Amino acid sequence: MNLLEFLGVFGGLALFLHGMQMMSSGLEAVAGNRMKAILERLTANRFMGVLVGALITAAVQSSSATTVMVVGFVNAGMMTLSQAVWLIMGANVGTTVTGLDVGALAPVVAFGGVFLMVFVKRARLQHIGQILAGLGILFIGMDTMSAAMAPLREFPAFIHLMSTLSNPLLGILFGALFTALIQSSSASVGILQTLAAGGIVQFSGAVYVLFGQNIGTCITAVLAAMGTSRNAKRATCIHLLFNVIGTVIFTIVVLVFPVTALIEAAVPSPKAQIAAMHMIFNLATTILLLPLGNWLARLAEQLLPDREEPQSAGTEMRLAYLTPVTAGGKDGGLGVSAI
């Protein structure tokens, strides 16, 4: 990885953050009671919310895309934290289904948004264009970061390290770090499947890398939450909690029960084995945590409490009492004494 590729990471990050800011600003401008009412109807029921999140993610084949949009909705005040939980859960289910490549459509979306902003005079359409332009720029930034990290996918040291990761903790850490670096859980899982198909990685060790990849994909939402409201950061926290809790549960289950042996016996192809475990992980974690969605929202609020404005010592002013003020021998009104 040379210096130019390394700088490409920062350029992609700059585009990503600017796109997120544009999208959030546009959402705030068009946020109205009608749109909020639509989102409330779609997410009021937890099952409907999970289904909507899964369908959106399946369409764009990116749980990152869905969670970034959810962060934007929460940041714009169009969605509550409790509503966001269900869409985030659905995003994790939808990512197991093959769909479109959102990165390939990003330039078209960005161009459409800029066209509306420049050539259309209606304010509402301009704000919609700002949303589209921000979303397109955001994913162009993601693609830029992913492309800059592409050499790591074939870096011999990484491949060798992955082939020796039989320790659960090391496998999880490596999977999370590798996915965070290349900014794509789909690409990361695909690389793992290729290595497994070539016999470089054994399925019994690959499952831990796979669990870590689910944690690493949260980095996109973490980046998207930079500079946003407290509630938007909490939505990101829920996404991270979901995958961490799922990883802890599945790691224990795999260590205690012969889950990998059963999957190997039922599914002969190494690629299909990883795909099956990926689907089982996300579906089972969603089913287990679905009754606890509101608890996850409260836990995120406790982990990220509202900030209190700091007060400098010795500069606090408060009203003590009101006293009559006499000016020129006549009552001139009330005076305020402060301590």
* Distance, CA of 244 to CA of 33 (rounded, Å): 35
Residues 189-193, mean pLDDT to the nearest whole number:
76
Which pLDDT band, with edges at 50, 70 and 90, does 32 fall under? low
Q: Mean pLDDT highest for which of 34-43, 80-89, 91-100?
A: 80-89
* Distance, CA of 289 to CA of 45 (rounded, Å): 15
- What is the H or E stretch that residue 257 is in? none
Greater pLDDT, 252 or 23: 252
Which pLDDT band, with edges at 50, 70 and 90, does 36 fall under? low
8-state DSSP, 98: -
Residues 178-200, mean pLDDT to the nearest whole number:
75
Greater pLDDT, 38 or 15: 15
Could you tell me what percent of the chain has a pLDDT over 90?
14
Which pLDDT band, with edges at 50, 70 and 90, does 338 fall under? very low
User: What predicted TM-score, i.e. pTM, was given to this entire model?
Assistant: 0.68
- List, in sequence order, the alpha helices (H) in the chain: 3-30, 33-43, 46-60, 63-75, 81-94, 102-119, 123-148, 156-163, 168-182, 185-197, 203-216, 219-224, 230-256, 259-266, 270-289, 293-303
Q: What is the pLDDT of residue 284?
A: 92
Mean pLDDT of all residues belonging to the chain: 78
Bridge partners of residue 305, in order along the sequence: none
Q: Which residues contact 187 (CB under 8 A, 6 or more apart)?
A: 146, 153
Q: Say yes or no to pLDDT of 313 above 50.
A: no
* Distance, CA of 294 to CA of 45 (rounded, Å): 12
Q: How many residues does the chain have?
A: 339
Q: What is the pLDDT of residue 147?
A: 73
Per-residue pLDDT tens digits for 247-260: 999 999 999 999 88
Q: What is the pLDDT of residue 76?
A: 78
Work out the number of other CB atoms within 10 angstroms of the CB of residue 99: 16
* Distance, CA of 72 to CA of 232 (rounded, Å): 7
Yes or no: say if 208 and 168 are a contact pair by the CB < 8 Å rule. Answer: yes
Residues 218-246, mean pLDDT to the nearest whole number:
86
Q: Say yes or no to pLDDT of 101 above 80.
A: no
